[in-house]
Chains A and B, each alone.
Chain A
Amino acid sequence: MSAKVEYVLRFGDNSLILGQRLAEWLGHAPVLEEDIASANISLDLIGQARLWLTLAGRIEGKGRDEDRLAYHREQQDFRNFTLLELPNGDYAYTVVRRFLFDAWHCLALDALSGSHDTDIAAIAAKSRKEAEYHRLHSGDWLVRLGDGTGESHARTQAALELQWRYTAEFFDSDAVDAEMAESGAGFAAASLRDEWLEEVTTVLAEATLKVPAAAKFVSHGKRGRHSEHLSRLLAEMQVLQRTHPGAKW
């Protein structure tokens, strides 16, 4: 698989898996207004996934469309960050996960908007507007929960401690990143770290939350080495396509 296909899949899978997780809240959110907001964000993410996966299939040139890629790959073929596949947990967990990712996503899409590859640049530019709103939404909730009640503060800090260790992956560079950065179609993964950390630190301070210590652990979902949770998520997501091969829906 070419570096470009793999790279595009990473973006598609990030949006798909997070969109799938977020949609689980629909009907179960803390307040009706949030059911609606979460659904909007989930819809944006799935829309992005469709664009990225379609592009990946086209570059690959083997006739795989968005659904072939979403429903007929095994867990080791998925390229999303490990953070995004972890089960939802409580609302604090969901908000923290989203904020950590949304802050990265905005920076990444900014960088990609200047990609030499016009297809990549176009999808990035479209997704960027959506990601901006997602970041506003999750950042706002992070502050409300962090600086809310004693209970919400404790839950949010705990969620942060649990998930912080998965953020190293955002900035961990491999051969795919290097090749894409080199060609001008992508960006150097590590280059976003400082800005991300600064932005996240500012919001965490406003939320009266402590920045957790850096961990030695690095997850490798984007290279296809996932947690135990992804295959279960996929088993559920792919069930109909797998049970009825060749059927159209």
Chain B
Amino acid sequence: MSEDEKQGGTGGRRPLVQEWPLWEVFIRSKQGLDHKHCGSLHATDAKQAIQMARDVYTRRNEGVSIWVVPSNAITASDPGEREAFVDPMADKIFRHPTFYELPDEVKHM
């Protein structure tokens, strides 16, 4: 196992080439209901993310309205019983390595 693999999800590894950012997709299945989280996808910007969400997550008429949110814009609460580590309140909801913005000069990390 390499050092990288040991680091797993907590490391700020970046793919070799720049991967498209991750977006969270929320769908309102019908008028009168809340938007509900239904998954994620990769897209370069919001417009494209909306288009792709339509194709990916509403192939069977699942929705009347779509929200997309950059995954790294979501702030999550702390899961209740955390003892060993107290993560700061602003911690991010998912442990995706792509959260970490590196300068362009840094190609591999």
Contact = CB atoms under 8 A, between A and B. Distances in A.
Interface string A18-35: 000000000000011100
Given A31-B20, A33-B42, A140 B55 contact: no
Contacts of B51: 37, 136-137, 140
A36 interface: yes
Interface string A132-169: 00001100100010000000000000000000000000
Interface of A is mostly: helix
Q: Give the interface size class of chain B.
A: 10 to 19
B43 interface: yes
Contacts of A140: 47-48, 51
A131 B109 CA distance: 44
Interface in B28-58: 41-44, 47-48, 51-52, 55-56
Contact of A37 (B20, B42, B44, B55): B55
A31 B22 CA distance: 13
Contacts of B41: 33
B56 A36 contact: yes
A37 B50 CA distance: 12
A37 B52 contact: yes
Contacts of B42: 31-33
B6 interface: no
A136 to B, nearest CB: 7
Contacts of A33: 41-43, 52, 55-56
Contacts of B82: none
Nearest to A33: B52
A40 interface: yes
B68 to A, nearest CB: 12
Contacts of B20: 31
A40 B47 contact: no
10 contacts: A31-B20, A31-B42, A33-B42, A33-B52, A36-B56, A36-B59, A37-B51, A37-B55, A140-B47, A144-B44
Interface of B: 20, 41-44, 47-48, 51-52, 55-56, 59
Interface of A: 31-33, 36-37, 40, 136-137, 140, 144
Please name the 7 residue pairs, one residue from A and one from B, whose CB atoms are nearest each other, closest first: A37-B55, A33-B52, A36-B55, A40-B55, A36-B56, A33-B41, A33-B56
